[in-house]
C-alpha cells in the first residue's frame, strides 16, 4: 500500500474540503473554541478582492458553522512574511464582507484562520502553536472579538505521550508522519475512526491517473523550490563575505525565486498554484513571466490593474510612463 502526503495541495483539499466531518474534527481539535463546531457548510475558497489592483487570494478551505462563525483553513509548505500578511488579509476580508448581511455591526460573526505551516518561522524551539487575538496590551484578558489567527509549525511538533489519544495530537501526527515513505500506520492513528477515514483518503489507489499527475507536479515544484531556496542561502552567504551577508542573501533569493517561477510555469503549474508555493502575489508572478523581473520586488505595484501574461511590453511601459508623469506633477504641487 502506497500512501500520499496529506500536506500536498490536492490531498489536503480532498480530505478537509470534501468531508465535513473531518474538517469539523480538525477545527475542533486545533482552535481554542468555547463552543465546539457541530455542523459546517463549505463556501467558495477563492476570495476575490474588491480593490482591482490587489491579487486574488486562494485559501484551501473556507466554511461557516451553524452559529455563523467563519473558518479559514490553509496548508502552507513554505513560510514567508508575506504569507502571514496574506492570512490576516483574507481573515479581515471575510470579516468585513459580512456587512452585506445587515447594517448592524453587532451582527458580525467572528472569523478564525487556521494555518498549518510545514516550515519553521519562530526561533523558540519548544513553541509550535501560535494563537493571535486582538487584546488590550495592559490587560490581555480584555479582547476585541472578531479575528483570531492560529499558526502551527508542523516540523516542531512532537507527540505528547500523555495525550496521545487526543485528536489534537492525532491530527498533527497524521499530518507530520504520513507521507510517501510510510509503510506501517502507527497503532494510535488507526484506533480513531476519523483518522482511519483520513488515512483511506491518502491511499494512492483512491486517486485517478490525472490526479496523480497533478500531485507529482505539486511535489516536484515544492522540492524544486526548497532546493533553490537552500542554494540561494548558500549563494547569499558566499556573496556576504565580499558585499555583506544580508545583501547577498536577498539578491540570491530574488534570482532563485525568479527562476522557480519560470521553471514551475514551464512545467505546467498555473499562476495560482505558483503563488501558493512561492508566497508571491499573482501580479508579481506575471511581471516575472513577462520578463519584467527588474520591476519585481517584495512590494511590486500593480498600478490599479492586474497584468496578463500576453500583455505587450509597450502597453506596460506606456502605463508606467503615465503613472510616473502623474507622480511628478503631484510632487511639484
- Environment class of 140 (CB within 10 Å of its CB; exposed 0-12, middle 13-18, buried 19+): exposed
Nine cell digits for residue 248:
547577498
- Environment class of 185 (CB within 10 Å of its CB; exposed 0-12, middle 13-18, buried 19+): middle
pLDDT for 51 beyond 50: no
Alpha-carbon distance values, 23 to 30, 41, 60, 114, 133 (Å): 11, 10, 11, 11, 22
The parent domain of residue 152 ranges over: 9-206
If asked whether residues 149 and 264 sit together in one domain, one would say no
For 59-99, write each residue's pLDDT tens digit. 689 999 999 999 999 998 888 778 888 899 999 999 988 87
If asked whether residues 80 and 132 sit together in one domain, one would say yes
In a domain? residue 192: yes
In a domain? residue 292: yes
Q: How many domains does the chain have?
A: 2
- Environment class of 114 (CB within 10 Å of its CB; exposed 0-12, middle 13-18, buried 19+): buried
Nine cell digits for residue 183:
509503510
The domain boundary residue, chosen from 206, 235, 267: 206
Q: In this structure, are residues 112 and 31 in contact, taking their beta carbons and an 8 Å threshold?
A: yes
What pLDDT band is residue 116 in, cutting at 50, 70 and 90? very high
If asked whether residues 24 and 66 sit together in one domain, one would say yes
Overall pTM > 0.85? no
pLDDT for 259 beyond 80: yes
If asked whether residues 74 and 218 sit together in one domain, one would say no
The better pLDDT of the pair 288, 333 is held by: 288
In a domain? residue 323: no
Q: In this structure, are residues 211 and 10 in contact, taking their beta carbons and an 8 Å threshold?
A: yes
In a domain? residue 91: yes
Label residues 229-253 b or e (16+ Cβ within 10 Å = b). Answer: beebeebbeebbeeeeeeebbebbb
If asked whether residues 38 and 115 sit together in one domain, one would say yes
pLDDT for 332 beyond 60: no
Q: In this structure, are residues 113 and 90 in contact, taking their beta carbons and an 8 Å threshold?
A: yes
If asked whether residues 75 and 135 sit together in one domain, one would say yes
Mean pLDDT value of segment 230-247 = 60
Question: Cα–Cα distance between 239 and 234 in angstroms, integer?
Answer: 9
Contacts of 328 (CB under 8 A, 6+ apart): none
pLDDT for 178 beyond 50: yes
Lowest mean pLDDT among 80-84, 238-242, 260-264, 321-325: 321-325
What pLDDT band is residue 302 in, cutting at 50, 70 and 90? very low
Q: In this structure, are residues 249 and 237 in contact, taking their beta carbons and an 8 Å threshold?
A: yes
Instruction: Report pLDDT for 131.
Output: 96
Q: Please tell me whether residue 328 adopts helix, strand or coil conformation.
A: helix
Q: In this structure, are residues 16 and 24 in contact, taking their beta carbons and an 8 Å threshold?
A: no
Mean pLDDT value of segment 169-175 = 96
Residue reference for cell 490587560: 139
Contacts of 256 (CB under 8 A, 6+ apart): 228, 229, 231, 232, 235
Amino acid at each position: 500500500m502506497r500512501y500520499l502526503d496529506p500536506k500536498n495541495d490536492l490531498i489536503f483539499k480532498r480530505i478537509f474540503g470534501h468531508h465535513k466531518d473531518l474538517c469539523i474534527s480538525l477545527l475542533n481539535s486545533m482552535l481554542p473554541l468555547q463552543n465546539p463546531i457541530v455542523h459546517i457548510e463549505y463556501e467558495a475558497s477563492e476570495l476575490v478582492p474588491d480593490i482591482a489592483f490587489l491579487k486574488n487570494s486562494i485559501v484551501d478551505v473556507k466554511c461557516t458553522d451553524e452559529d455563523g462563525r467563519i473558518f479559514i483553513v490553509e496548508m502552507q509548505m513554505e513560510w514567508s512574511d508575506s504569507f502571514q500578511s496574506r492570512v490576516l488579509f483574507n481573515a479581515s476580508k471575510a470579516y468585513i464582507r459580512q456587512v452585506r448581511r445587515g447594517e448592524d455591526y453587532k451582527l458580525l460573526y467572528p472569523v478564525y484562520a487556521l494555518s498549518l505551516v510545514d516550515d519553521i518561522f519562530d526561533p523558540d524551539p519548544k513553541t509550535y502553536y501560535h494563537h493571535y487575538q486582538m487584546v488590550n496590551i495592559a490587560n490581555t484578558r480584555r479582547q476585541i472579538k472578531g479575528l483570531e489567527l492560529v499558526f502551527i509549525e508542523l516540523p516542531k511538533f512532537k507527540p505528547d505521550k500523555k495525550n496521545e489519544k487526543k485528536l489534537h495530537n492525532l491530527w498533527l501526527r497524521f499530518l507530520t508522519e504520513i507521507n510517501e515513505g510510510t509503510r506501517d500506520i502507527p497503532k494510535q492513528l488507526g484506533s480513531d475512526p476519523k483518522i482511519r477515514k483520513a488515512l483511506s483518503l491518502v491511499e494512492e489507489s483512491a486517486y485517478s491517473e490525472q490526479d496523480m499527475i497533478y500531485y507529482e507536479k505539486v511535489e516536484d515544484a515544492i522540492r524544486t523550490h526548497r532546493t533553490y531556496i537552500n542554494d540561494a542561502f548558500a549563494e547569499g552567504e558566499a556573496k556576504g563575505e565580499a558585499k555583506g551577508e544580508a545583501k547577498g542573501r536577498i539578491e540570491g533569493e530574488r534570482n532563485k525565486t525568479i527562476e522557480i517561477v519560470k521553471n514551475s510555469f514551464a512545467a505546467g503549474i498555473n499562476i495560482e498554484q505558483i503563488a501558493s508555493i512561492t508566497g508571491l502575489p499573482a501580479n508579481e508572478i506575471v511581471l516575472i513571466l513577462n520578463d519584467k523581473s527588474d520591476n519585481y520586488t517584495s512590494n511590486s505595484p500593480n498600478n490599479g490593474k492586474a497584468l496578463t501574461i500576453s500583455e505587450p511590453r509597450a502597453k506596460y511601459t506606456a502605463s508606467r510612463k503615465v503613472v510616473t508623469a502623474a507622480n511628478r506633477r503631484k510632487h511639484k504641487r
